[in-house]
Structures are given as structure tokens and as C-alpha cells.
């Protein structure tokens, strides 16, 4: 089978890109306007073509015919934590995405966003979006996923918006996650114990459910913590102090409620331990907090890959029959 190709905008720290790589996609372009995110991408994959620039100024003509256009468009316009201005929000980049899609003419489109995208208040926006995609020759649908259904040890609901050229659409179906994720304790006990903390096993037994949704990744946020009061209370029930992040795991004789490190949070997001994040603690945590869990992206990527291969196989068979 041929190598599948993709371009991605608002790539962030690479959660979606990493998942799509697992699904078999080669990334011809990864663009983001955050210098720390760009540094993270380059640090982990020096061979990727990483461009640090604004999406509004980018063009995609040179990638015409690419297999997949991916994007992690800004979430604040649709987030319940914000003003939910939708298309009126200056951070809304859907029109820019549509312009780039018209230029690149990809076979598939994958855009991830927050659960708020599905709110009744955005019914009109979604109808308009569907019309615009159909005008470009695409069918489009969206679905809410919980990362825990794909083995990620936190709930983290995210919306996947998938569109495809009509010839490919009939072969696509959304993935059905049925994984049983580890608990927070099972996921992090080795990291909690790595500096000899004697309370790690007892802590892990208390942290016996999946994590609350990781939040706190906004650039406007004051620092790295695990979210507002409700989120911190949920973390406290798991034996975690969510008021801030730690630079190191608990030490051998520690008696206070442990805090998570950025590496621990990254593991809860589904990142492999080998994935490094550029910048100091606050910048690293913002990248992690905004990430699309790689296992969810991989599951979606695999379904898209199957649809592309199936469609091309059918097209090839028809060509052979016509030639005979």
C-alpha cells in the first residue's frame, strides 16, 4: 500500500500528529504559531516539516491532492468556559480552514474541537458549515468521543469533525472505542515511586478511577494547575493536590498530598514517555493541556486510512475492468 500523506494546522504539541503517524500518515506540513509547540515538534521529529506561522497567512496550493487535512482549531470560541461567541470570536479559524481545504483539495478532513461545538446555540453555525463543505464537494459529520473509550486514563470529551470527498465518504465509519483504561493510580504509580516515595502504592490504591478532564491549558491562564475549584476537588478525591504542578515526583520521605509533574499529566493525556515538551513547566503544561490524545487521533486516522485504501482499491479494479 502506498504511503498516505497529511498536512496539519494548529498542530500544537503533536498529539494529533503523533496519533496520525501511528495510523500510517506521513506529515508533509505541520503549522502552529506557538514557538514552544514548534520547538516540541522539531525536538521529537526533526524530519517533520514544521512551520511556525499564523494559519491566516498560510497557503496550501502546493499540497493539492493531499490525503488528509488535519487541524486542532482553537477551542475558546465554542468552550463553555468562555463566552461561546462561535464564529463571531476573533479566534475562530473555520473560515481559514475552509480556504486552505479549497486550496489543498484533500481526500479527507479531520478537525478536533471541544464538546461545546455541539451545543444547541451553534446549530446555525453547524448547518452553515455543512453547506460550505458540500459546496466544496465534501460530505461532513461530527461525533463526540470520550478519550477513556480508547484507553486514555481520563474522560476528556472531544468532538471529531470528519469530512471527505464524496467518492471516499461511503467507505468511512467512525471508530467505536471499547477499551478499559487504567486508573490514575495504575497509570502513574511508577512515576510517583521513582524517587523512592514510600507512600506510592497506598496512594495508587486510593487513585482508583480515571482522571477528570485535564484543563488549564489556556495562554490566558495564570499558571500550571489542574483547573478550577470543581476540578481540584475531583483531583483531591484521587489524592492529588491540583493547585499546582510539581517539578519532581514526591521524595522518599514525603508526607504531603502529592502533586503531578508535567510528565505525569502527559501520560494521562496518552503521550508516550519519550515525547519531550519544549519550554519550562508552565509552557509545557499548556501544550499538554491543549493536546488531542494521540490514541484517539490514531483510531480516527486508522478509519480514514481504511476508507482511502478501500476507495482506491475499488477505483483500481474499475480501471482494470475498463481496460480489459
Catalytic residues: 75
User: Among candidates 154, 145, 149, 158, which has minimal Cα distance to 188?
Assistant: 154
Helices (H), the chain: 15-22, 35-44, 94-104, 123-135, 166-169, 184-193, 200-206, 229-237, 262-268, 281-289, 294-323
- The answer to whether the beta carbons of residues 232 and 226 sit under 8 Å apart is yes
**Grid coordinates in use for 315?**
477505483
User: Which residue(s) pair with 159 in the sheet?
Assistant: 113, 144
Crossing angle, helix 15-22 and helix 294-323, to 10 degrees? Answer: 40
d(CA 95, CA 153): 34
Give CA 265 to chain center in angstroms: 14
Rg (CA), the chain: 21
How far is residue 125's CA from residue 271's CA, in Å, rounded to a whole number? Answer: 32
The C-alpha atoms of residue 256 and residue 31 are separated, in whole angstroms, by 42
Q: Are 288 and 214 in contact (CB under 8 A)?
A: yes
Amino acid at each position: 500500500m502506498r504511503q498516505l500523506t497529511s498536512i496539519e494546522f494548529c498542530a500544537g504539541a503533536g498529539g494529533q500528529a503523533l496519533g496520525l503517524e501511528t495510523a500510517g500518515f506521513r506529515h508533509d506540513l505541520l503549522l502552529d504559531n506557538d514557538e514552544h509547540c514548534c520547538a516540541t515538534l522539531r525536538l521529537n521529529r526533526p524530519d517533520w516539516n514544521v512551520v511556525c506561522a499564523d494559519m491566516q497567512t498560510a497557503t496550501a496550493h502546493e499540497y493539492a491532492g493531499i490525503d488528509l487535512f488535519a487541524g486542532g482549531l482553537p477551542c475558546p470560541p465554542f468552550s463553555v468556559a468562555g463566552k461561546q461567541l462561535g464564529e463571531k470570536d476573533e479566534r475562530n479559524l473555520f473560515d481559514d480552514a475552509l480556504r486552505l481545504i479549497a486550496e489543498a483539495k484533500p481526500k479527507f478532513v479531520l478537525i478536533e474541537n471541544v464538546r461545546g461545538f455541539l451545543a444547541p446555540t451553534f446549530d446555525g453555525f453547524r448547518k452553515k458549515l455543512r453547506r460550505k463543505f458540500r459546496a466544496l464537494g465534501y460530505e461532513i459529520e461530527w461525533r463526540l468521543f470520550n478519550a477513556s473509550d480508547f484507553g486514555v486514563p481520563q474522560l476528556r470529551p472531544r468532538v471529531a469533525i470528519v469530512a471527505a470527498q464524496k467518492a471516499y465518504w461511503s467507505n468511512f465509519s467512525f471508530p467505536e472505542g471499547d477499551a478499559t483504561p487504567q486508573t490514575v493510580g495504575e497509570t502513574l504509580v511508577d512515576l510517583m515511586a521513582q524517587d523512592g516515595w514510600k507512600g506510592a502504592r497506598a496512594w495508587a490504591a486510593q487513585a482508583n478511577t480515571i482522571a477528570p478532564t485535564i484543563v488549564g491549558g489556556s495562554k490566558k491562564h495564570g499558571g500550571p494547575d489542574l483547573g478550577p475549584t470543581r476540578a481540584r476537588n475531583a483531583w483531591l478525591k484521587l489524592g492529588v493536590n491540583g493547585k499546582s504542578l510539581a517539578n519532581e515526583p514526591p521524595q522518599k520521605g514525603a508526607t504531603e498530598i502529592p502533586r503531578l509533574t508535567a510528565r505525569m499529566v502527559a501520560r494521562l493525556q496518552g503521550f508516550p514517555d519519550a515525547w519531550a515538551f519544549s519550554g519550562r513547566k508552565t509552557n509545557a503544561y499548556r501544550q499538554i493541556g491543549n493536546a488531542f490524545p494521540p490514541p484517539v487521533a490514531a483510531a480516527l486516522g486508522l478509519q480514514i486510512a481504511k476508507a482511502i485504501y478501500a476507495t482506491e482499491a475499488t477505483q483500481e479494479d474499475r480501471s482494470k475492468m475498463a481496460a480489459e
